[in-house]
Amino acid sequence: MKLSRRELLTTAALSPAFAAGGKFPKGKADACILLWLGGGAAHIDTFDPKRKGDGKKVAGSYYDAIDTAVKDVQVCEHLKRTAPLLDRCALIRTLGHDIVSEHGAASNLVHTGRMPSGTIQYPSIGSIVSKELGTKDPAVPAYVVMGYPNITRDPGFLGAKYGYIYLTQTETGPNGFVRPPDVDNPRQDRRETLLAQLRQNFENRHPEDQVIRAQSAITGQGFKMAGPKFMNVFDLAKESKSVRESYGGEFGQRCLLARRLVQSGVRFVEVSFNLNFLNGSGWDTHNDGQTKQHLLIQDLDQAFAMLLTDLEKSKLLDTTLVVIATEFGRPPEFDSGGGRGHHSKVFSAVLAGGGLKTAQAVGVSDELGVNPVGKSVSVPDFHATIHCALGINPAKNLFAGDRPVPITDKGEPLRELFS
């Protein structure tokens, strides 16, 4: 695309660091696994414990705190497997935004790094990574989501080419890629040949339609991904029984599959923690969902600790960024049912591996985890840090048609996490 002088100057103004030669840190990661705790995980009950409350009138954490591998940094007692591995992690304890009431809006903000616009649909971070890093192998997708399809994970203005393959179960892989038992290889080849001819004829009749061309390309890639290289990734039985058991239940098996997907060449994997998992309410712990929240935390602890250990053993931890994120946190006070409401001014996220300078906590919240003390980390800053860890310039412009859109909304990476 040829830019006018005005457009060129606008682009440079929107991306001063990029135009000046890219003064952003660059990490060593070439893949990312995002563990998504949908519902709003309580930071003061997980990665930022405070004084203990009583579950009723006395505000505070619900559990005791324990020491970790990082001096003066504690976590919840139910993260006992993660605690000795915390030197592989960086805790971000002052992530914050202004959306308190709506899960969907907050989830969209954390996934896209921007508030919605009436004129443009912004891409998710997974789609941006897919576009910027591309595929390692045409037989493997760049972006996979374990969970149900959701607009917050969509490619937005980047188009369907940078969308995701989604899975609702770990055992069989994407249902659309599973061939019916009566379709053998010759029959499949005939079908693909015929469909390719029909697609080409349709493209020829609409040479200027980019949507048609993109969908055609996706269909062709889909047939490649239906082959044995990608589909064999889902055969978890190839892992030893001890490894499978070490990951734990459903969420743990998803994390094991995430490791296998990264090994196969997938760039970005989102692993969604089931909203109605174990305690009946998921991480949205209003009312009595709080009383069994420890079951969720223990499940997360087992899967996350094993994922870090497994990636390290496979020599993938330095090149794989593991992220734990949620849409907001919870307040220290308890509601009338003994649970917690929503709180977005300050909450926690975790970055592990990826060649970052770990063994540290970034930001400090006040005595009850209500407000940041000093430095606050915005969602664009959080995105910029992830992008830089993956070698992506967060100020680079993408284009929604002719409109330049920087990858992040003026996000600044956390430079203390880079060498």
Residue 234 pLDDT grade (very low, low, confident, very high; cuts 50, 70, 90):
confident
pLDDT tens across 244-258, in order? 999 999 899 999 999
What's the confidence (pLDDT) of residue 227?
58
Burial class for 201, CB neighbours closer than 10 Å (0-12, 13-18, 19+): exposed
Q: Are 258 and 133 in contact (CB under 8 A)?
A: no
Please tell me the least confidently modeled range out of 88-102, 194-208, 251-265: 194-208
Phi-psi label, residue 156: left if phi above 0, alpha if psi -120 to 50, beta otherwise:
left
Single-letter amino acid code for the residue at 413: P
Report the Cα–Cα distance between both ends of the chain, in Å, rounded: 36
How far is Cα 90 from Cα 107, in angstroms, rounded to an integer? 22
How far is Cα 365 from Cα 71, in angstroms, rounded to an integer? 17
Residue 230 pLDDT grade (very low, low, confident, very high; cuts 50, 70, 90):
confident
Residue 419 pLDDT grade (very low, low, confident, very high; cuts 50, 70, 90):
confident
Residue 387 pLDDT grade (very low, low, confident, very high; cuts 50, 70, 90):
very high
Could you write out the three-class secondary structure of 329-392? Answer: ECCCCCCCCCCCCCECCCEEEEEEECCCCCCEEECEECCCCCCEECCCECHHHHHHHHHHHCCC
Beta strand pairing call for 364-365 and 320-325: unpaired
DSSP letters for 43-59: GGGTTS--SB--SSSS-
Residue 231 pLDDT grade (very low, low, confident, very high; cuts 50, 70, 90):
confident
Domains of the chain with bracketed CATH: 30-178+226-330+346-356+371-417 (3.40.720.10)
- The answer on pLDDT for 71 being more than 80 is yes
- Collect all residues with Cβ–Cβ distance below 8 Å to 336 and sequence separation of at least 6: none
Q: Once rounded to an integer, what is the mean pLDDT over residues 191-220?
A: 58
How far is Cα 167 from Cα 171, in angstroms, rounded to an integer? 10
Model confidence, pTM: 0.86
Residue 225 pLDDT grade (very low, low, confident, very high; cuts 50, 70, 90):
low
How far is Cα 345 from Cα 324, in angstroms, rounded to an integer? 18
What's the confidence (pLDDT) of residue 261?
95
pLDDT tens across 115-147, in order? 998 889 999 999 999 999 998 988 899 999 998
Q: What angle do CA 312, 315, 318 make, to 5 degrees?
A: 75
- The radius of gyration of the chain's CA atoms, rounded to the nearest angstrom, is 22
Of 323, 324, 360, 363, nearest to 346 (Cα)? 363
- The answer on pLDDT for 34 being more than 80 is yes
Of 287, 306, 197, 207, nearest to 248 (Cα)? 306
Beta strand pairing call for 347-353 and 320-325: antiparallel
Average pLDDT, the chain: 86
- The answer on pLDDT for 411 being more than 70 is yes
Neighbours of 161 (CB within 10 A): 17
Residue 7 pLDDT grade (very low, low, confident, very high; cuts 50, 70, 90):
very low
How far is Cα 216 from Cα 212, in angstroms, rounded to an integer? 6
What's the confidence (pLDDT) of residue 147?
86
What's the confidence (pLDDT) of residue 9?
43
Residue 8 pLDDT grade (very low, low, confident, very high; cuts 50, 70, 90):
very low
How far is Cα 354 from Cα 8, in angstroms, rounded to an integer? 34
Q: Once rounded to an integer, what is the mean pLDDT over residues 74-81?
A: 98
More confidently predicted of 116 and 279? 116
How far is Cα 317 from Cα 261, in angstroms, rounded to an integer? 14
Single-letter amino acid code for the residue at 342: H
Single-letter amino acid code for the residue at 136: K
Share of the chain above pLDDT 90, in %: 68
**174 phi and psi angles, rounded to 5 deg:** -60, 130
Task: Give SS3 for 131.
Answer: helix
DSSP 4: P
How far is Cα 389 from Cα 142, in angstroms, rounded to an integer? 17
Task: Give SS3 for 260.
Answer: helix
Burial class for 204, CB neighbours closer than 10 Å (0-12, 13-18, 19+): exposed
pLDDT tens across 288-343, in order? 889 999 999 999 999 999 999 999 999 999 999 999 999 999 999 999 889 999 99
Q: Once rounded to an integer, what is the mean pLDDT over residues 40-48?
A: 98
